[in-house]
Amino acid sequence: MNEPQPLFRALADPTRRDILLMLRTEDMTIAQVAENFDMTRAAVKKHLTVLSDGGLITVRAEGREKINTLNPSAFAPIKDWLSYFDAFWDDRLGDLKSAIEKDVQ
């Protein structure tokens, strides 16, 4: 449970990763985000939906505009997943240590 799939999916596209980088410095409307890309507002809106599905952004209405805000805490599951491979490092270092010790004898 707590499926990280929508999160990994959201990060798999370079346009979406660029959007996230943009949103670090300021919240933006859909139109503002779209200004920075050579594609239609509709296409950008689709990307924003995927980012929202992944929990990476939150959207709030402000009059007729929708303000998109970065939600950096959503990166946690990815960091957690990556940490599985930190343990791997420890194991390998352990193996190396054992091998060396065995070799010394």
Strand partners, 68: 28, 59
CB of 59 to DNA, least distance (A): 7
User: Interface residues for its own copies in 15-54 (CB under 8 A)?
Assistant: 17, 20-21, 24-25
For residue 50, the tally of other CB atoms under 10 A from its CB is 19
Measured CA to CA, the distance from residue 31 to residue 42 in angstroms comes to 10
d(CA 101, CA 98): 5
Q: Is 58 in the site for DNA (CB under 7 A)?
A: no
We find the least distance from the C-beta atom of residue 104 to DNA, in angstroms, to be 33
- Contact positions toward DNA, by CB under 7 A? 9, 12-13, 15, 29-31, 38-43, 45-47, 50, 59, 62-66
